[in-house]
Structure 1
């Protein structure tokens, strides 16, 4: 892919996404469907059309051929994603500009577009979605409460400086940071080398829910119910959202989470969260008294539980990673490495080559795939 001027963040994201089977099946595989269903006049502004066109071009191989000096025909050396960048960045003051961007923030923005254009249809983001289980326990009564946080695509983790492999470089950075901060000056980001496993075993981190012998908090004593004031939702905003075709429960949820700040912010929340598993479920504000049905203890089917545990969804293999070179995420350069049939390949805009020693220890975003 050609660099349009600080578009390496876009190129790296797209190259990685179109190595995920669900994204390939959603866009390049169905490209002819999108092409035939989209009016020519609307193609330049159609997200699905542009995703399909870009994915098909990347997977075709037509833009990665070596030039033949004896040929009278020009060879396309890389795709220029001008229209794709325009569609994704439209209306966003940063992503519509020619400035360098944070690849993590761009991925989340791109995911918002995918959610918006996959409503009620096949959604490739389902392959990345996961839940985080939160457990709270009272130190006196030992009662517990469990909640699930859904709609997660990327797990952000802090960098443990004490586990850095390049200890001398990190020590110098921390010393310089203290000196410059005392002077009120800006400091650049450090390169922290970490041991990144090729195979990630998350077995010990799997949420197990309430365990045998654990007692739940009484409804009025739950931590999230203690000091929660009564929630008054803006009925006018809910009505506006329902007029757009959204269900009442999802509209209530959107207005609540955007704190009655208006229809526009609630609409944006809906577009970002319409893929949530509980999106259309009856909305119960946090802290509201639970129904008798919700207080019924859940008893897992042992046979089903054993089947799920045997499916192997706890082990993942490193598939790709995106690296950043520069003093901050807003400047510098992004590249990505992808494991292709057992070989690591580096994608540096229009330059693609095998990587003998991929810098897995210094990446910014990692993609792991299930080993199931």
Structure 2
């Protein structure tokens, strides 16, 4: 402990200790956590009044297929944490008060956006920019050697989790293209399945799924159209039957019960020819998750496409798991750039007793330098 005190005294004299010890410092706006904290208010879309206290709200993350239920506090206040997600996702939500659906619910978030740094103002000069000239030449050389890499397969992209896989498959699958062309979705529903029926009520229509007892549908089902959930029956009925490929019905209690009131009236999955038919997304429901760590590409030049193509990357090697031997030494091996000039090697680490260290060294890369 004494060594730590001595280290702090000797190496942190630049810090404003008097201000720190007073405790009069500004609290950070963003906590040091990877969880996304959402705070806001739920209100009735038609009257802008807060939803009743203890209203149940079911949130569903569409791409990550995560759903969880929260309860509102006084005046519609709502707060919940979203676990680690990567990339962009979109929230879908439903609300119930005392077991009754709230038709139109809106969310207003109190989130503070993170101010991103702006690019510094640029001015045009008569002097040539060294980096721009080097980058232009590098791109020209890369294009000249594309013959060696054009046949390389693109990296595989992981497919998003399927909602259907999450619920262990649909109960009924209907290939709409196997039937004659229907003039409307209402006619299609009447003709293709006894588990799905349509009713006209005033100027609008309603759709019901015949569920397996003890479940009984009291409202329209949840529609998942090209992977995007909605409760908008009018939007579903506005689809053209000729654009629909497959309808899938989920109606068994074992598959619907884990979804809470989100699935209590059944689920109707729709796959269209375009594959991207949906209502416009609300900006307030778009969630920005974490950025995935990029795997550093340590190229292998012993054979294949990279053995014939010059490498002009500015960052050539990265390894975060190097350990020294009993003598305190470690051996690194990497390829240098094909661009001649000075190259900077930086090493950062921790000793066994937790002391940080760093070292930098420049080496000269020339035409006579070995490449490894």
TM-score normalised over the length of structure 2: 0.24
Higher-Rg structure is 2
Q: So what's the TM-score if we normalise by structure 1?
A: 0.24
**Greater strand content:** 2
Bigger helix fraction: 1
